[in-house]
Amino acid sequence: MEATFKPGFLKGKIVLITGGATGICYGIALGFLKYGARVCIMSRKLPNIQAAIESLKKESGSSEIYGTTCDVRKLEDIEKAVDYFIEKVGKIDVLINGAAGNFLVPFESMSANAFKTVIEIDLQGTFLVTKVVHAKCLKGRGGSIINISSTLQVCGVALQTHAGAAKAAIDAITRHLAVELGSQGIRVNGIAPGAIDGTAGFEKLTPEGGLSISMKETIPLNRLGKKSDIAECAMFLASDAASYISGQTIIVDGGAVLTFPNFTLLSPQVRKLLNPSL
């Protein structure tokens, strides 16, 4: 990552990342810190925030990291968290909506509460955090909003009706807000990660018992994604280099969406779950 961008090219940017204590969003936070941004992260669990801040300081060499707990499903939590960050750093220039929840579950056995929970975290959370940050920080000043999406909804993936529906709606929000907020100098874009190695999300969505083919061999670039791949895309979209890009959701998956089969169906365990007679 160090060779990709000019050192300090994000200096002066203040970034808020929901879900920034873990996974892909932790990697995004690390990238922004390394290149000079001041970074604010939110997560529901205090121990995750505390551990992430300590780790990010060590990895990045920067102390410009701030964190607080927040449940993105609750408006009061969001307003309190955003006010806390404004008090600490003065403003927010870039919002990255990355908080998400997911798990494998067949449609037939999915409870109404399971569907509702993922919709509330992914979709409602994106909407509510954007509303608050826009009102308190971006309106009248401009800025950038980046929504973390997925590729699940592109072709439809078994056991992912809840998450795919939420991410498809987030892609719609990206397009609608790009149109509505463009005149305010606010750019709205999305990133749709593919399979990102070393994340809890990837492990959770890879069925036990393995897949019948190698993911790496069927991805055109012959490798799984890295957290830094998503971080670099986010940094580009937040930078002045992307000043005329808005309303786009960029797929970052090594070309997998073009060639890779419906991955959950490649698991013998999943096929048995969907059709017990097999």
pLDDT tens-digit profile, the chain (278 residues): 457 899 999 999 999 999 999 999 999 999 999 999 999 999 999 999 999 999 999 999 999 999 999 999 999 999 999 999 999 999 999 999 999 999 999 999 999 999 999 999 999 999 999 999 999 999 999 999 999 999 999 988 888 999 999 999 999 999 999 999 999 999 999 999 998 988 877 776 666 656 546 777 888 999 999 999 999 999 999 999 999 999 999 999 999 999 876 767 767 777 677 777 65
pLDDT of residue 215: 76
Order of strands, sheet of 65-69, starting from the edge strand that comes earlier in the sequence: 65-69, 38-43, 14-18, 94-97, 143-148, 186-193, 249-252
Query: Which is it for the CA torsion 183, 192, 8, 61, positive or negative?
Result: positive
pLDDT of residue 228: 96
Q: Is residue 79 part of a domain?
A: yes
CATH number of the domain bearing residue 251: 3.40.50.720
Q: Which of 266, 261, 159 is nearest to 210 (CA)?
A: 266
Q: At what angle do helices 125-133 and 161-181 cross, to 10 degrees?
A: 20
Q: Is residue 105 part of a domain?
A: yes
Q: Return the CA Rg of the chain.
A: 18
Q: Is 192 exposed, middle or buried (0-12, 13-18, 19+ CB in 10 A)?
A: buried
3-state secondary structure of 127: helix
Q: Is residue 4 part of a domain?
A: no
pLDDT of residue 207: 61
**CA gap 133, 121 in Å, rounded:** 17
Cβ-based neighbour number of residue 175 at 10 Å:
16
Q: Is residue 6 part of a domain?
A: no
> Residue 59 carries which side chain, given as an amino acid letter?
E
pLDDT of residue 19: 97
How many angstroms separate the Cα of 61 from the Cα of each of 153, 168, 216, 227, 266? 37, 37, 33, 18, 42
CA neighbours within 13 Å on the CB side: how many for 142? 10
Q: Is-contact 127 230, C-beta < 8 A? A: no
Q: Which domain holds residue 164?
A: 14-274
CA neighbours within 13 Å on the CB side: how many for 73? 10
Q: Name 187's bridge partners.
A: 144
Q: What is the pTM of this model?
A: 0.93
pLDDT of residue 109: 93
Q: Is residue 212 part of a domain?
A: yes
- Strands (DSSP E) contained in the chain are 14-18, 38-43, 65-69, 94-97, 143-148, 186-193, 249-252
Q: Is residue 157 part of a domain?
A: yes
Q: Is residue 2 part of a domain?
A: no
3-state secondary structure of 94: strand
Q: Is residue 1 part of a domain?
A: no
How many domains is the chain built from? 1
